[in-house]
Amino acid sequence: INKIKTEEKQMRNLLFTLTVILTSSLALAEFKMAYVDIQKAIEQTAMGKKAKEEMKKEADKKNKELEKKKTDIDKMREDLEKKKSVLAEEAFAKKAEELSIEMQKFNQLAAKAQSELQKKEGELLEPIVKKMRTVIEKLAKDKSLSMVIQSNQNAQIVLYANPELDLTEDLVKAFNSAK
């Protein structure tokens, strides 16, 4: 009787193990994953191209302002170098201090411009990324995907993926046609 109970217990364990394996296999069979390069998708959408153009205009405007200031500072530096031998030590020190102050102002202006550009980029990208997430979610549901991961050529998050799993082109098409 003990031998029969032991065999019965072993059969139940075997049955349980087989059930777990079969269930796991079915779950894995239904798990479908794809990837998308968000950066590439943003760059290829109409909204992304418009945002990039707007950022370029803003950056060009800021760079033009900074170039003018830099030219003025370079001129101040050249004038100071030319007059170095004829200026009294006290006058030279005063001019050098003025140049230093102007250089500090320039550096602050450049940092401010960079910060403003980053803020502007965030403002331009926020609605694009929000819409992109919605479109990705819809694509994933339409294709019965369990997961969509981000791929990026620069970040190397995905080391290898079958190109057939790349949703980037589908995403761009769906994004451009979405309202």
CA distance 149 to 24: 22
Task: Please determine, for residue 166, whether its predicted confidence score (pLDDT) is greater than 90.
Answer: no
Strand partners, 148: 34
pLDDT average, residue stretch 38-54: 92
Query: Phi and psi (nearest 5°) for 143?
Result: -100, 10
Residue 36: closest CA among 131, 179, 132, 127? 132
Q: Please state, in angstroms and rounded to a whole number, the distance separating the CA atoms of residues 65 and 170.
A: 41
Total-model pTM: 0.68
Instruction: Note the pLDDT tens digit of each residue in 16-30.
Output: 665 666 566 555 557
Total residue count of the chain as it appears in this document: 179
Give burial (CB, 10 Å; 0-12/13-18/19+) of 1.
exposed
